[in-house]
Structure 1
Amino acid sequence: MPTPVSVDVHRNLTRRAWSVRVAGRVVGHVPAIALRDVVLRSSNASRIRCLRLGTRDVHAWARGIPTDAARPPEAVRFRYRLAEPGFRLADGQVLLAAEVAWFEEDGSAWCLASPDANVLIGGTDT
């Protein structure tokens, strides 16, 4: 049985789609995608550089294994904003990982947070 391939997903603002990377190379763009065993990554140094220079680059993404799981009603929305470091839940907590995450066609992102300690209070470089 082959090992599932982990992919990176980030929002492509120009195409209004989700870019999918495998081994650092974009292999496609999709309107929506779901991932399991998700780790959320962002670079605070790149975020600050984008703010300072007024440029855009990919400095926040989700890594996980694609799945066909449907989004359940108990999934919670999370966001990434240039104004503050890290992916955040609605209450401001930093989200580091999720059991499953859904990246929707409208650009929204939803997750089932892992039961482990994956949420931090305040902002840190994740």
Structure 2
Amino acid sequence: MVEVYRNRTRSRWSVRISGRVDGHRLCVVLVGVTLRASEAARLRCLRTGARDVHAWAAGELADLPRPEGAKRLRYRIKESGFRVEGRVVVRAAAAWFEADGTAWAVGGE
């Protein structure tokens, strides 16, 4: 199980294994994805203006092409949770984290 989050300083996706950053990648694909976001940390960041890692995706690394039907996965600090087409999602069958900073998912619930 690995965790992925956007490193805005490096403009890369950070890959964390067992709590330690293993590297930074332009693109990452995960399957069996769980999306996690700490509401308390999100509110603290809004209040203080600090930037910290409080939202990430966890799953297994994969090497799959992004399908046509993948939906845009979004996270904004102003709103709680990850969203696909405006609804909060906590899981996805697979997620693609692209070089341009966008994320895409299929099978979100």
Report the TM-score when normalising by structure 1: 0.85
Correspondence for 2:63: 68
Correspondence for 2:92: 98
Superposed, which structure 2 residues align to 1:43-122 within 5 Å? 43-90=38-85, 92-114=86-108, 118=109
Cα distance between partner residues in 1 of 2:19 and 2:80: 22
Aligned residues, how many? 109
Identity of aligned residues (%): 53
Cα distance between partner residues in 1 of 2:96 and 2:8: 17
Q: 2:13 aligns with which of 15, 18, 22?
A: 18
Report the TM-score when normalising by structure 2: 0.98
Please give the per-residue CA displacement for 1:29-66, whole angstroms capped at 9, x wherever unaligned.
00000000000000000000000001100000000000
How large is the Cα RMSD of the aligned pairs? Answer: 0.7
Could you tell me which runs of 5 or more consecutive residues in structure 1 were left unpaired when the two chains were aligned: 1-5, 119-126
Higher strand share: 2
Cα distance between partner residues in 2 of 1:54 and 1:42: 17
Could you tell me which runs of 5 or more consecutive residues in structure 2 were left unpaired when the two chains were aligned: none
**Higher radius of gyration, 1 or 2:** 1
Deviating above 4 A after TM superposition, structure 1's stretches of 4 or more consecutive aligned residues are none
